[in-house]
């Protein structure tokens, strides 16, 4: 794994916890230069310190992906610090799921702003640089919720499937020198449920998570697998779920 990752400059949104944090640690351990973005600066600073103390290279920028200028600044930081960007991992996401009848419109808008528009802002920031370099890879983190539509998750699944469609369109437009990968995790042991505003739903999701969830490191390994491939090999999609998940 290390040979295909060492030296690459990789930006990660949602890097402060969960999948993003695990991915940053794994990739930095493989020799990548990681550029970390998240809303909580204290977590970014602690993660950067941990990576550098272990001999890795990392830098960070406070990044709210619902703000286009924040995402642009993250990509600009990578270019300014390291002279290029090889991979952008659009990982930041929230899931305040609920029945549509509850009309939690603010939650719907937040999911659209972060899950969907945040990914588009990442594409807008990195695609011109990738074209200029004539190389680059997008890794867009989706969810198995987009593969199996169930009650409570209509809007959340909608945002993930919108990113799926955009990713496929991007892949077809990308040409022979850019790569596009989508990653669909199932239940993962993270603080994902913290964004849920319905207490009953939050409790249900946390119970299911605690019963069957896999570690965020499992998703990090899948992301690393997609990145480490030779430049002419594209891993289009990986689905990683617990064996116990239906």
60 is catalytic: no
**For 85-132, what is each residue's pLDDT tens digit?**
999 999 999 999 999 999 999 999 999 999 999 999 999 999 999 999
Structure tokens at 58: 């990392």
Task: Answer whether residue 246 is part of any domain.
Answer: no
Q: Residue 233: count other Cβ atoms within 10 Å of its Cβ.
A: 10
Residue 215 DSSP symbol: P
Task: Answer whether residue 181 is part of any domain.
Answer: yes
Task: Answer whether residue 16 is part of any domain.
Answer: yes
Please tell me the predicted confidence (pLDDT) of residue 204.
85
The answer to which of 65-69, 91-95, 103-107, 187-191 has the lowest mean pLDDT is 187-191
- How far apart, in whole angstroms, are the C-alpha atoms of residue 172 and residue 180? 9
Which region, left, alpha or beta, applies to residue 119 given φ > 0 means left and ψ of -120 to 50 means alpha? alpha
**For 142-160, what is each residue's pLDDT tens digit?**
999 999 999 999 999 999 9
Residue 232 DSSP symbol: T
Task: Answer whether residue 30 is part of any domain.
Answer: yes
Task: Answer whether residue 81 is part of any domain.
Answer: yes
Task: Answer whether residue 245 is part of any domain.
Answer: no
Q: For residue 169, give its domain range.
A: 2-240
Catalytic residue among 60, 82, 121, 156: 156
Please tell me the predicted confidence (pLDDT) of residue 90.
98
Task: Answer whether residue 199 is part of any domain.
Answer: yes
Please tell me the predicted confidence (pLDDT) of residue 192.
79
Task: Answer whether residue 12 is part of any domain.
Answer: yes
Integer angstrom CA distances of residue 151 from 108, 156, 201: 15, 11, 11
Q: What's the whole-model pTM score?
A: 0.95
**For 214-237, what is each residue's pLDDT tens digit?**
999 999 999 999 999 999 999 999
| Mean per-residue pLDDT over the chain, rounded | 96
Q: For the chain, report the end-to-end CA distance as a whole number of angstroms.
A: 30
Give me the sign of the Cα torsion angle 73, 74, 79, 84. negative
What's the CATH number where 93 sits? 3.40.50.720
**For 1-60, what is each residue's pLDDT tens digit?**
577 999 999 999 999 999 999 999 999 999 999 999 999 999 999 999 999 999 999 999
Residues near 101 by Cβ (< 8 Å), separated by ≥ 6? none
Number of domains in the chain: 1
Residues facing 34 on adjacent strands:
10, 58
Please tell me the predicted confidence (pLDDT) of residue 1.
54
């Amino acid at each position: 794994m290390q040979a295909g990752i060492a030296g690459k400059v990789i930006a990660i949104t949602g890097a402060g916890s969960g999948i993003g944090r695990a991915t940053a640690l794994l990739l930095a351990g493989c020799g990548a230069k990681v550029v970390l973005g998240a809303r909580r600066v204290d977590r970014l600073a602690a993660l950067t310190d941990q990576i550098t103390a272990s001999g890795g290279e990392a830098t960070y920028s406070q990044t709210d992906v619902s703000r286009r200028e924040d995402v642009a600044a993250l990509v600009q930081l990578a270019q300014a610090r390291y002279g290029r960007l090889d991979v952008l991992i659009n990982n930041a996401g929230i899931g305040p799921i609920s029945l549509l009848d509850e009309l939690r419109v603010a939650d719907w808008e937040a999911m659209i702003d972060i899950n969907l528009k945040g990914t588009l802002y990442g594409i807008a920031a990195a695609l011109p640089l990738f074209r200029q370099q004539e190389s680059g890879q997008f890794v867009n983190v989706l969810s198995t919720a987009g593969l199996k539509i169930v009650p409570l998750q209509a809007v959340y699944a909608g945002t993930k499937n919108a990113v799926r469609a955009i990713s496929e369109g991007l892949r077809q437009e990308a040409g022979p020198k850019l790569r596009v990968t989508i990653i669909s995790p199932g239940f993962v042991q993270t603080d994902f449920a913290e964004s849920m505003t319905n207490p009953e739903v939050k409790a249900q999701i946390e119970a299911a998570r605690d019963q069957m969830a896999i570690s965020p490191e499992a998703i990090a390994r899948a992301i690393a697998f997609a990145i480490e491939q030779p430049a002419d090999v594209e891993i289009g999609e990986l689905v990683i779920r617990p064996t116990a998940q239906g």
